Amino acid sequence: MKLYELLENNAVTSIGDTEISSLTDDTRKVTEGSLFVCVKGGSFDGHTAAAEMLEKGAAAVVCERDLGLGDRQILTDNSRRLYGKLCARWFDHPEKKLKIIGVTGTNGKTTITNVIKHILMSSGHKTGLVGTIRNEIGTEIFHTGNTTPMAYEFMELLDRMVRADCEYVVMEVSSFGLVQNRIGSSYFDVAVFTNLTQDHLDYHKDMENYYQAKKMLFDVCGTAICNTDDEYGRRLYDEISCSKLSFSVKECASFYADGIKIKASGSSFWFCNESKSHLIKTRIPGLFNVSNITAAIAVCLEVGVPIESIISAVENYNGVKGRCEIIPTGRDFTVICDYAHTPDAVENVLCSVKEYTENRLICLFGCGGNRDAAKRPKMAQAAAKYADVLIVTSDNPRDEQPEDIINDILAGLADSKIKYDVVIDRREAVYHALKIAQKGDIIVLAGKGHEDYQVLADGVKIHFDEREIVAEGLKLL
């Protein structure tokens, strides 16, 4: 592709007729004829390698400041933003050939996107999924490393979806993906805002920055659907200028749930909009999942799926791995695995599970290392609000000592009378939970969810699947 074709008038250059063989922001991928984009990251600034990349064979470099490289440097005010646009052009704008639905917020993204995809697929619309657990093209499944892929990988994935004849793509849109312009020039037909609670403040620094990052999605969407049960959702609804609708499980809204009944085996509720109401039955338990399903139904109605098809699809959906997932035990107590790893998520899942707990509610949790330390005592406080017994343990300690993380967590229990045990090794902690379980107890394993690994020092990953560990632990009883 000629350089001028790739740039699409988004930057000026005198060497527009140069043939570009590849596009990258990764120094390791530069080859003869590449266009190298200098991006400043947390630990490496691509600008420092620009001259070296030209020597390596790059045809030109994109940079944010004059590097003294003459005609072979292309200046822009934002390399990340331009890189996203270049990636879209490199793949002939696949984002314009798909109907894109985005979901952002702290909690609920995975469940909502998976329910939407299930409804669309059940209604005959081939759909791609971009998410935390995995990426999907129709029924094909692919590994994912980030909630929102990096710019080049994202456009490459969309291109594969286009070539596979997908009509829709449903995606989780992370705050990182928005701030770092990973979505390129994508436009979203519908975008959902779920909620905002403390998370990722090691990156965003404060809640206002975090909110503003999420809000960026609603500058590039046709219709916004906001959770007005959440204070940030109400604020967003008031501030955005695109077409907007609301959803709620507490009060009247554009779409709302009424007559909610929750059991361990699932939930039922009346889905209401305008003057109409429809009985919804789902196999997914929890009030927060009623909210998630309400949002998913709202989206599918907005894109034209008949309500009868939606109701049938929701009734036949078994749920998302690691999201309030019941792990079979064959015993007189229940084990639930959930990805809850923020104070609000922990509180939501425990509040919901408490409603149908016959005896004690036992919560096992930890906090990740090299991540927002301020939320650690808040996690403990949230867990203590509804649980009867806590088991404090490890969760992806990374480069921190597990004991130090646990001490931060325990600070949140200083004024609490709740019974708690500390078991540093997470495998042993799961075994301990099973050993102390009594008839009618529910054990919630919080934090790992779909993950089948633990992240240790220096980024080392070890296999760690709590479903397998529960099965092992039951044999020891």
Rounded to the nearest 5°, which phi and psi values hold at 446?
-100, 140
| Cα distance between residue 210 and residue 215, in whole Å | 9
pLDDT in tens, the chain (477 residues): 999 999 999 999 999 999 999 999 999 999 999 999 999 987 899 999 999 999 999 999 999 999 999 999 999 999 999 999 999 999 999 999 999 999 999 889 999 999 999 999 999 999 999 988 789 999 999 877 777 889 999 999 999 999 999 999 999 999 888 988 899 889 999 999 999 986 666 666 688 999 999 999 999 999 999 999 999 999 999 999 999 999 999 999 999 999 999 887 789 999 999 879 999 999 988 888 999 999 999 999 999 999 999 999 999 998 888 888 889 899 999 999 999 999 988 998 999 899 889 999 999 999 999 998 999 999 999 999 999 999 999 999 999 999 999 999 999 999 999 999 999 999 999 999 999 999 999 999 999 998 999 999 999 999 999 999 999 999 999
Name the nearest CA neighbour of 220 among 260, 181, 189: 189
On whether the CB atoms of residues 448 and 395 are closer than 8 A, the answer is yes
Instruction: State the pLDDT at residue 201.
Output: 64
Instruction: State the pLDDT at residue 197.
Output: 84
Instruction: State the pLDDT at residue 133.
Output: 79
Please name each of the domains of the chain with its CATH number.
Answer: 3-79 (3.40.1390.10), 94-315 (3.40.1190.10), 325-476 (3.90.190.20)
Residues 6 or more apart whose CB falls under 8 angstroms from that of 311 comprise 278, 279, 280
Cα atoms in the Cβ-side hemisphere of radius 13 Å centred on 57: 13
Helix (H) or strand (E) run with residue 43 in it: none
Instruction: State the pLDDT at residue 142.
Output: 87
* pTM, full prediction: 0.81
Secondary structure of the chain: what % helix, strand, coil (to 5)? 40, 25, 40
Instruction: State the pLDDT at residue 190.
Output: 98
Name the nearest CA neighbour of 131 among 119, 114, 116, 118: 114
Largest CA distance in the chain: 76
β-bridge partners, 364: 391, 445
Instruction: State the pLDDT at residue 384.
Output: 97
Coil, helix or strand at residue 319: coil
